[in-house]
Amino acid sequence: MLIFSGIAIVLGVLLTLSALLGARVGRASASAGGWPGGVRRFLLSPIAPATWESAWAIGKGFFVGTIGFSLVVSIFSTGTSLLVVGVGVVLIGIGVEVSRHLAGIERGRVSVAGTAPLLAHGYRPRGQGARDLAMAVFLDINRWRDVAYVLIAFPLTVIEFGVTITLWAATLLLLSMPVWIGDLGGAAAISLGSGPVTGPLTDWVVILAFAVGVVLLFVTSSVTQALLALHRAVVAGLLCESEQRALHRRVATLEGSRRAVLDVEASELRRIERDLHDGAQQRLVMLAMSLGMAAEKIDDDPARAKTMVLEAREQARQALAELRDLARGIAPSILMDRGLVPALESIAGRTPVPTSVLSTIPAGIRLPDAIERAAYFVVAESLANVAKHAAGVAGAAADAGAGGASAPQTATRCEVRCRPEGPNLVVEVWDDGAGGATLAPGGGLAGLRDRVEGVDGTLTVESPVGGPTLIRATIPVAGRVTPAAPTPPPVPTGDGWVR
């Protein structure tokens, strides 16, 4: 009883010192480098919060590792034995997902051993169908890395826990020796062999044991932190996104964005060339021909020449209109002059489907030109698709009314939502039409996705059959944009979105 009381007293004193001095020394000692910094960290290790956090994490890891290993091995063993009846495949998939959740717990557990964040490696998305789910579970290398970690972590956590418990028990026993011995000059019974041997216990033996305990306290504290740091390295190697892999993924993303920008630029140049050749150029050719013929007839037939001049003026007016439309397609003047929200309100007012613009961008805020153009064309193309499909569905409804058949649902309302979310600009186009829109290769939405990816953004389409359709573009903006008056997110109802 005296031994346990002494251990409790020593442990309480250490925890009290850690609580009182931890805020002062804290983790600042970890930032010191070089040999003096290492000595300082060693001397401050007993009262550093990292020591006790590491001890707690090691104890937690022992139980998590033991329970997780037992659970995963049991699931895999049962699943392997039941493969012949098909149920085993499901059980093995469950075991893989259990390993993935255990990996998340482990990343959080060992994060106290360092300041750098531990980023989970990328998992293959589950998708929507059973085939996508099976491919995500069984063909994802990162999920199998989680399974491997669960098998490897079990013996590691047992060893770490055993070493930590042994060192701390020996340390506390030696430090508490003066307490449970009582009188330094008294006598103690020492068990040797089969029978007790009684003899005087000299003062220097107790002092030496206490001194060894003090030295062992610093060693044990440092070893506790080192064990968790080593385990953190294992977690970082197996369960986290390494800097090299992240760099490779970033390079691949930038290469894809560059290709998307070049493709969009090439398609825009082809469109401009086609529009100039088929539109304004032909008008100008007709204008030149009309003026040439009028010049030949101005003396002989003034009335006919006047008619030709009037026709040429009409050709010039139409050419100017086509050039104006072409310029508006490249960079709308209202967008360049007044900003994104007025430009969105302008195109919303020209849409045949009733459209409202909901924006939380503060008045007077201007975003980078590339960001505004990308957002503008996302909305313009989306509203054009809504109008086109609404017209097609309306025609189908008229035919169905004549023939007595039912027609698809027609979009009756559309919303354009524009809001800042942290460092991103989010633009959404919602309609209550029939749905079924997809990012098919070569389609208009795929072109929008390429345009958005060209500015490092993402485009998603949520359009179940039967509607509604929601097209969302998330575009990063240089610098944080804060809305003037944030509005609550829309609440879905049976007939659409209601704010």
What is the distance between the alpha carbons of residues 209 and 187, in angstroms, rounded to a whole number? 16
pLDDT at site 275: 63
Residue 470 to residue 464: CA distance in whole angstroms:
9
* Cβ-count burial 34-46 (b if 16+ within 10 Å, e if not): eeeeeebbeebbb
Q: What is the dihedral sign for C-alpha 417, 421, 426, 428?
A: negative
Q: What share of the chain is helix, strand, coil (3-state, %, to 5)?
A: 65, 10, 20
State residue 38's pLDDT score. Answer: 64
**Burial readout 4-25 (b: 16 or more C-beta within 10 A, e: otherwise):** eebbeebeeebeeebeeebeeb
Burial of residue 115, with CB atoms counted within 10 A of its CB: 0-12 exposed, 13-18 middle, 19 or more buried: exposed
Burial class (CB in 10 A: 0-12, 13-18, 19+), 461: middle
Instruction: Round to whole Å and give the CA distance between 426 and 133.
Output: 29
Place of tokens 């309609």: 431
Topology adopted by domain 337-498: Heat Shock Protein 90 (3.30.565)
pLDDT score for 44: 75
Phi-psi label, residue 491: left if phi above 0, alpha if psi -120 to 50, beta otherwise: beta
Q: Treating both helix axes as pointing N-terminal to C-terminal, what angle do 87-109 and 203-239 enclose, rounded to 10 degrees? A: 130
Query: What letter represents residue 93's amino acid?
Result: G
Q: Domain map of the chain by residue range?
A: 2-239, 244-330, 337-498
- Given a cut of 70, the residues of the chain with pLDDT beneath it are 1-39, 127-128, 180-203, 242-243, 245, 257, 260-268, 271-283, 322, 324-332, 389-409, 440-444, 478-499
pTM over 0.95: no
